[in-house]
């Protein structure tokens, strides 16, 4: 990776990535605690599972170039909001906003931006709830506020999004219309499935 370090007092790439990894672990720990508390209070886990990842050096460079920025450490930290990313998978659509609220209510997490693709899907049919948050990482000699991207979606949405990502990658973003149309139709089926599963769960809860 050709990442130039410029500017007085700039950290090395390795040190910066260590900070992002720490931020990722910190958010994952918080989510685990919140999920355990929700189970204790409500006898129910809103979070099915959590996936965390650190963006690869090549992906960071490609993203910077795509947006017209030089591949420097400063630009990476300033303009890449998804270097540390967490995907939260839940069972039902109603869980999405419950989880988002739990995250927003943490006193040491600052929500910087929200993109609600659940209420306002992308033209492709993509649905998810995105948050960019800032979390403090405590080092031995300083505190570093670090950005983490959080995506919240149902199991069905995640399955669809995974397939769409593979298709977009295969066709480098220029997906043939017939495949795009079929993919959009699948997105509608996923939405209907989520609605039906929520309805079924509500019926079960009423019986219980």
> Is 71 among the domain residues?
yes
How many domains does the chain contain in total? 1
36-55 mean pLDDT = 92
> Is 139 among the domain residues?
yes
120-140 mean pLDDT = 95
β 110-116/84-90 pair status? unpaired
Nearest to 111 by CA among 119, 100, 120: 100
**What are the pLDDT digits (tens) for 193-203?**
999 999 999 99
pLDDT of residue 9: 41
Share of the chain above pLDDT 90, in %: 77
pLDDT of residue 99: 96
> Is 200 among the domain residues?
no
26-41 mean pLDDT = 93
pLDDT at 70 over 50: yes
> Is 52 among the domain residues?
yes
| Residue numbers of the domain that contains 49 | 13-157
Q: In this structure, what CATH number is given to the domain that contains residue 78?
A: 3.30.460.10
> Is 201 among the domain residues?
no
pLDDT of residue 168: 87
> Is 21 among the domain residues?
yes
Residues with Cβ within 8 Å of residue 103, at least 6 apart in sequence = 30, 31, 34, 109, 111, 131, 133, 150
pLDDT at 42 over 60: yes
> Is 193 among the domain residues?
no
């Amino acid at each position: 990776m050709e990442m130039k370090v410029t500017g007085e007092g700039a950290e090395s790439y390795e040190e910066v990535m260590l900070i992002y990894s720490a931020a990722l672990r910190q958010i994952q720990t918080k989510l685990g605690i919140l999920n355990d508390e929700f189970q204790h209070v409500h006898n129910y886990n809103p979070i099915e599972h959590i996936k965390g990842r650190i963006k690869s050096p090549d992906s960071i460079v490609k993203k910077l170039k795509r947006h017209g920025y030089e591949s420097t450490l400063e630009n990476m930290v300033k303009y890449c909001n998804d270097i540390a990313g967490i995907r939260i998978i839940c069972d039902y659509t109603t869980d999405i906003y419950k989880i988002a609220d739990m995250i927003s209510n943490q006193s040491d997490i600052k929500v910087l931006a929200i993109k609600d693709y659940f209420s306002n899907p992308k033209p492709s049919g993509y649905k998810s709830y995105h948050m960019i948050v800032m979390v403090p990482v405590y080092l031995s000699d300083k505190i570093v506020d670090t950005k983490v991207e959080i995506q919240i979606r149902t199991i069905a949405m995640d399955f669809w999004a995974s397939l769409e990502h593979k298709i977009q990658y295969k066709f480098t973003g220029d997906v043939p219309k017939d495949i795009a149309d079929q993919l959009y139709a699948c997105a509608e089926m996923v939405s209907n499935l989520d609605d039906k599963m929520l309805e079924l769960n509500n019926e079960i809860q009423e019986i219980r």
